[in-house]
Structure 1
């Protein structure tokens, strides 16, 4: 014979209370999941920053020449190229310091060596690449063009970027 009472009735819990408890569980689970995702993102950002710092320390990113008058800026830096190597859709399409993507700096102040703004741009691009795992080459180029069309970047590189001349 079937028990006519539901589990909620046997426990003397109202359906409203059950819904309330389930909502609380979902909220706690969501907060825990969001926290875990935030921690993972922080760890990845720290790893990306170390990669950029290592490139700078090793003189790999863009060493400062003694007579720097405004360098050619390679949009695909070595740290960005490292992330591109493992990208599911963009791997193999770009080289470190790829000559197809170069911007000529207006002057020495705009670009000489691996300056703070350069590291910040690299980190932004690296973060975007990690987030956009299905990005197409067109979407990647659109992201780069968006960055290099910003007011502060146009001041540094008035002609944008393209193949080295």
Structure 2
């Protein structure tokens, strides 16, 4: 019952006072509206993405509702890509912060990168494919952090681009792609 109610609320919502019509259109599954919303108001787009994903997770779909489900999935995917996360909305693992506290401390001591990044920087988050792929501060996570810290110490003149390239290199490895299907 609750899932049906959520589906009705999000797919049949009328614009509330002060809410842009593009928000309502995106909630109803219009991909172009989602892309527009992400460009205009990323924070609100992220909220709508969360709402749409919640409906997709909780709804029990009945016969004849496949089209609405596909519209919502398309809306979620377009919001996700427009917001820059480029990860499938169906990922259920933990959010993984590429800039851990350990890496952030090393960055604060770095001659050229100091002040550019903060611990658990929201710009650098990826979602694990499932709970087994990332749950807490596992051994693989500690090893990655140690590798990045060693790299930072060995590259005192590293540029932000070089640092991003290093992170992309790590997260494009097969073992990391298995944990984070769309890397970084």
Assess same fold via TM > 0.5.
Answer: yes
Aligned pairs for 1:4-153 within 5 A: 70-153=93-176
Q: Distance in 1 between matches of 2:124 and 2:148?
A: 14
Q: Distance in 1 between matches of 2:113 and 2:166?
A: 13
- CA deviations on 1:26-63 (whole Å, 9 max, x unpaired) are xxxxxxxxxxxxxxxxxxxxxxxxxxxxxxxxxxxxxx
Q: Distance in 1 between matches of 2:109 and 2:148?
A: 14
**Cα RMSD between the aligned structures?**
0.7
Q: Max radius of gyration: which structure?
A: 1
Q: Secondary structure at the match of 1:73?
A: strand
Cα deviation for residue 70 of structure 1 reads: 1.5
Q: Secondary structure at the match of 1:103?
A: strand
Q: Secondary structure at the match of 1:97?
A: coil
Structure 1, unaligned stretches of length 5 or more? 1-68
Cα deviation for residue 159 of structure 1 reads: 1.4
Cα deviation for residue 160 of structure 1 reads: 1.5
The number of aligned residues is 93
| TM-score, normalising length: structure 2 | 0.50
Q: Distance in 2 between matches of 1:122 and 1:113?
A: 13
Q: Distance in 2 between matches of 1:120 and 1:70?
A: 19
Q: Secondary structure at the match of 2:175?
A: helix
Structure 2, unaligned stretches of length 5 or more? 1-91
Paired position in structure 2 for 1:159: 182
Q: Distance in 2 between matches of 1:70 and 1:106?
A: 5
